[in-house]
């Protein structure tokens, strides 16, 4: 027991070191100024603790992430910070509702090209958002990136973002004491150096976050609903993707709906206490797991460690240059980009590549939710086209005057055109549809059978259906399809149909 607690405590402290610079940087990104750093830190503390306490994924660490930051940034820009907190509160409530309604069972079906597309778009937006610091404090940003690259390659015992945070801050402080005495004739060189006026995070509150009761009229709440849904949907996707990663690493199975409820509770409280919303963070969760964290305790310890840092070392954090945080965010965006999705563009189906590119472009140019929505619709249409072309088959055989069509695969709305075209072109007197190999039936597919029966009857042809839908949940019986065909139109087996035809027509038909 003691060893377990020791392991969880050490893992939580370790992951807090990784989370600290990212929380500060994402907070700054969201508000566009130094005031946001503490909001990001509050978000990591609150969402990290309560999502772990109530969530359904062992070892998962929650906090501000790329997708959540981009959404929150847009809300702050259009609605203001106070209303953004209300949107976070409402988004958390939506996530709790998703969990209660078991929506977690369906979010996992979002196609990979859509996920790759919006993650790539988010990476681009994060990098673009730091251009003001690149032009204003170029050398500081460049040094921070170099420190991170060096740390990634050669220094394994300290997280790269923390190493860059410490070294970048120290270098700026030291050079500020030397460089101001030197001024160059060319203005752009002074802008390049720019050490004498590098902006800092500034004062960090010494106390705990304050409770903010969300106050807004009905029209404002309605106006904030799309933003709240964006936080809920993208936060849920982000979290459950991380949950899948954790499952693959641990060999366990997360509880997706419980995880959504935990994430919702965390984001609801974040909105109430003036903090950024969050989601399951893949990098932080992996670090937690590799550091020995195997339960929710380590993730909660990570939040407590961040809180202690804020209370004890807040004055030191006030000296962190914003340009250093900008360099960390640029590297975060670079590492977030899914390069594999670009490498396989020439090899993967063109339709999947198109979905990824469209989702990425829409994420950057318009909005995350629009991009994801369009990507999902495109993927669904492409899937239906593939299923109708490849997933559904009609095999036809003729014996004597009886044409038998064996349907194979899902009998759904995407297959109705092919079935109608094939059978309507058959002028045989007796036509049989064999349902034995049908795997799924929807309402459109079921009603098509009746439409074909009536159409062929008007042409003086007979349509028989063969098969039992017990394996399909009895949907054809529930919709009275078999009953409307009657005892002379529906048969459970081909043998029953052949016996009926023999008795009524005096001929024996042998199935192929």
Domain ranges across the chain: 2-202+211-337+350-377, 392-505
Q: Tokens 């799309």 label which residue?
A: 226
Tell me what pLDDT residue 159 has. 77
Asked if residues 239 and 260 have their Cβ atoms less than 8 Å apart, the reply is yes
**Mean pLDDT, contiguous 10-residue spans, the chain (512 residues):** 82 86 87 81 95 92 91 90 94 96 82 84 86 80 89 78 85 73 49 59 75 83 91 91 83 90 96 94 85 89 91 80 86 82 68 87 85 88 75 72 83 83 85 87 86 89 85 77 87 86 62 40
Query: In this structure, what are the phi and psi dihedrals at residue 216, rounded to the nearest 5 degrees?
Result: -160, 150
- What are the start-end ranges of the H helices in 80-137? 81-100, 104-107, 112-128, 131-136
CA distance 160 to 334: 14
**How many Cα neighbours within 13 Å face the side chain of 63?**
31
Q: State both tokens at 477.
A: 């019986």
Q: What architecture (CATH level 2) is domain 392-505? A: 2-Layer Sandwich (3.30)
Asked if residues 439 and 409 have their Cβ atoms less than 8 Å apart, the reply is yes
CA distance 288 to 249: 12
Helix (H) or strand (E) holding 450, with range, is helix 443-458
Tell me what pLDDT residue 400 has. 58
Tell me what pLDDT residue 196 has. 47
Burial bucket for residue 123 (CB in 10 Å: 0-12, 13-18, 19+): buried
Q: State both tokens at 253.
A: 């199975």
Tell me what pLDDT residue 390 has. 65
Q: State both tokens at 53.
A: 């306490």
CA distance 410 to 435: 10
Buried b (16+ CB within 10 A) or exposed e, 309-338: bbeeebeebeebbbbbbbbbbbbbbeebbb
Distance in angstroms between the alpha carbons of the first and the last residue of the chain: 69
Buried b (16+ CB within 10 A) or exposed e, 161-187: bbbbbebbbebbeebeeebeeeeeeee
Asked if residues 20 and 160 have their Cβ atoms less than 8 Å apart, the reply is no
Burial bucket for residue 106 (CB in 10 Å: 0-12, 13-18, 19+): exposed
E strand spans, 254-339: 279-280
Summarised one tens digit per residue, pLDDT across range 234-263 is: 899 889 888 888 887 788 888 999 999 999
Tell me what pLDDT residue 342 has. 72
Asked if residues 463 and 489 have their Cβ atoms less than 8 Å apart, the reply is yes
* Three-class secondary structure of residue 491 per DSSP: strand
**How many Cα neighbours within 13 Å face the side chain of 501?**
25
């Amino acid at each position: 027991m003691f060893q377990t607690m020791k392991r969880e405590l050490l893992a939580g402290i370790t992951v807090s070191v990784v989370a600290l610079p990212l929380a500060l940087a994402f907070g700054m990104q969201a508000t566009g100024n130094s005031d946001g750093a503490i909001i990001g830190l509050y978000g990591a503390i609150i969402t990290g603790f309560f999502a772990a306490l109530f969530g359904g994924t062992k070892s998962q660490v929650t906090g501000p992430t790329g997708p959540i930051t981009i959404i929150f940034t847009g809300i702050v820009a259009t609605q203001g910070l106070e209303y953004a907190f209300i949107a976070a509160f409402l988004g958390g409530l939506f996530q709790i509702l998703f969990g209660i309604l078991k929506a977690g069972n369906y979010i996992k079906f979002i196609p990979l090209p859509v996920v790759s597309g919006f993650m790539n778009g988010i990476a681009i937006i994060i990098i673009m958002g730091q251009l003001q610091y690149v032009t204003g404090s170029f050398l500081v940003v460049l040094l921070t990136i170099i420190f991170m690259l060096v740390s990634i390659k050669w220094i394994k015992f300290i997280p790269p973002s923390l190493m860059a945070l410490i070294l970048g801050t120290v270098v700026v402080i030291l050079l500020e004491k030397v460089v101001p005495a030197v001024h160059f004739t060319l203005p752009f060189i002074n802008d390049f150096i720019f050490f004498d006026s590098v902006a800092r995070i500034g004062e960090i509150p010494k106390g705990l976050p304050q409770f903010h009761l969300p106050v807004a009229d009905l029209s404002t709440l309605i106006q904030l609903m799309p933003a709240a849904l964006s936080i809920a949907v993208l936060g849920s996707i982000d979290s459950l993707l991380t949950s899948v990663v954790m499952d693959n690493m641990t060999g366990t199975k997360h509880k997706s709906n419980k995880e959504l409820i935990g994430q919702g509770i965390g984001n609801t409280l974040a909105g109430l206490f003036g903090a950024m919303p969050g989601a399951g963070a893949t990098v932080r969760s992996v670090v937690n797991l590799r550091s020995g964290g195997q339960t929710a305790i380590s993730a909660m310890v990570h939040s407590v460690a961040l809180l202690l840092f804020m209370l004890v070392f807040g004055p030191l954090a006030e000296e962190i240059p914003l340009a250093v945080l900008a360099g960390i965010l640029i590297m975060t965006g670079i590492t977030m980009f899914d390069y594999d999705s670009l490498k396989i563009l020439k090899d993967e189906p063109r339709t999947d590549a198109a979905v990824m590119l469209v989702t990425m472009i829409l994420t950057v140019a318009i909005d995350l939710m629009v991009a994801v929505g369009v990507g999902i619709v495109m993927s669904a249409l492409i899937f239906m086209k593939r299923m109708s072309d490849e997933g559904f088959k009609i095999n036809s055989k003729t014996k004597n005057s009886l044409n038998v069509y064996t349907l194979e695969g899902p009998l759904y709305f995407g297959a109705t055109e092919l079935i109608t075209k094939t059978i309507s072109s058959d002028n045989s007197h007796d036509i049989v549809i064999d349902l034995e190999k049908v795997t799924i039936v929807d309402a459109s597919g079921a009603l098509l059978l009746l439409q074909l029966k009536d159409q062929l009857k008007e042409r003086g042809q007979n349509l028989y259906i063969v098969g039992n839908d017990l394996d399909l949940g009895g949907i054809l019986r529930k919709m009275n399809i078999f009953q409307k065909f009657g005892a002379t139109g529906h048969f459970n087996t081909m043998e029953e149909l052949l016996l009926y035809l023999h008795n009524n027509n005096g001929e024996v038909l042998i199935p192929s």
